[in-house]
Amino acid sequence: MPVLKAIIFSLFISAFIVSCGPDNTPKDNLASGTIDISADETYKPVIDEQLKVFDSSYPDAKITVHYKSESECFADYLNRKARIILVTRELSAEEKKIAEQNLIVPSSLPLAEDAVAIIVNNSAPDSVLGLDEIKGILTGVYKKKYTVVFDNQGSSTVRYITDSLLKGQKLGSNVFAAKGNAAVVDYVTKNPDAIGFVGLGYVSDPHDTTNSGAFISSVRVIAIQNDTAHRSFQPYQAYIALKTYPLVRNLYYINAESYPGLGTGFANFMVQARGQLIFANAHLFPLRMNIVIRDAEINH
């Protein structure tokens, strides 16, 4: 046991020194310094807003965010190119082994729940789809021949759909990758036979002053039939929280810092009240604050 304790202590000291200066003092702390982080491109709108508020609160902090596919974010983390990553899953068992080999001690936490939105051209005949119909579209056997567009081959959306919805079935030859979520929205806007899969932040109306969760008007956001509830749901915040909208996933931070550095400071900010409110205002469902959902009746 004394030998084991000595090894663990040695690993901790080695990881600490990596982020320190010549005199073994950290170059950054919770509120100041300069670091690079990587984030899933799907979350660019809300992470940009998080950084805007964080920067205004901590002017001595300089966080440079690199928006990439999810697979690239994990590569950056394991290669020590990013102190913290923002992604839609935790490390796999194999990735944890690699982290251990690279003297990285991961810490992670889910920050908010998000939805994958399905969009079609405003002239498309479909406005409601069941999960079996969506599977048929993705595998190329649906009655209408859609061109399916994702954001990136290595994206979290592709992985989520293939793992959670298709469960091993192969994507059809009608599936293509664009260059990011904004490109998917643009393609669907211009092509009547296109159907796109994007992050919620790219279809939420940025000019919605009522905070009602309105969607952009350039495309139609599909409602998904929930057979248990016997009705269809669009990706509104309450339906994400209740999981009546079926395509829901978490947004996590995964931190590599072994001391209270700037990455930890930013992670703490997103967990606390202001950061959680930013997620809520972006129509995600924040997981670290209490939100009350009530039924409402409309009198005609």
State the SS3 of 224-254. Answer: EEECCCCEEECCCHHHHHHCCCCCEEEEEEE
Q: What's the mean pLDDT in 203-216?
A: 78
Ranges 21-25, 92-96, 144-148, 285-289: which has the least confidence: 21-25
Q: What's the mean pLDDT in 156-166?
A: 95
For position 210, what pLDDT does the model report? 63
Angle of the 93-101 helix axis to the 70-78 helix axis, nearest 10: 30
Domain 115-248 falls under CATH 3.40.190.10? yes
Write the single-letter amino acid at 57. Answer: S
Q: What's the mean pLDDT in 178-200?
A: 96
pLDDT band at 295 (very low <50, low <70, confident <90, very high): low
- The structural domains of the chain, with segments of one domain joined by +, span 2-113+251-286, 115-248
**3-state secondary structure at position 220:** strand
Neighbours of 1 (CB within 10 A): 5
For position 207, what pLDDT does the model report? 72
2-113+251-286 against 115-248: fold identical: yes
Q: What's the mean pLDDT in 147-168?
A: 94
Residues of the chain with pLDDT > 70, as a percent, come to 87
Q: Give Cβ neighbours of residue 55 (< 8 Å, ≥ 6 apart).
A: 61, 63
Angle of the 44-57 helix axis to the 273-281 helix axis, nearest 10: 150
Ranges 67-76, 172-181, 267-276, 290-299: which has the least confidence: 290-299
Note the pLDDT tens digit of each residue in 88-134: 999 999 999 999 999 999 999 999 999 999 999 999 999 999 999 99
Answer for the pair 185, 264: CB distance below 8 angstroms, yes or no: no
Residue-wise burial string across 5-35, b where 16 or more C-beta atoms lie within 10 A, e elsewhere: eeeeeeeeeebbeebeeeeeebebebbebeb
CATH architecture observed for domain 2-113+251-286: 3-Layer(aba) Sandwich (3.40)
Q: How far apart are CA 129 and CA 149, in angstroms?
A: 17
Q: How far apart are CA 85 and CA 34, in angstroms?
A: 15
Answer for the pair 196, 185: CB distance below 8 angstroms, yes or no: yes
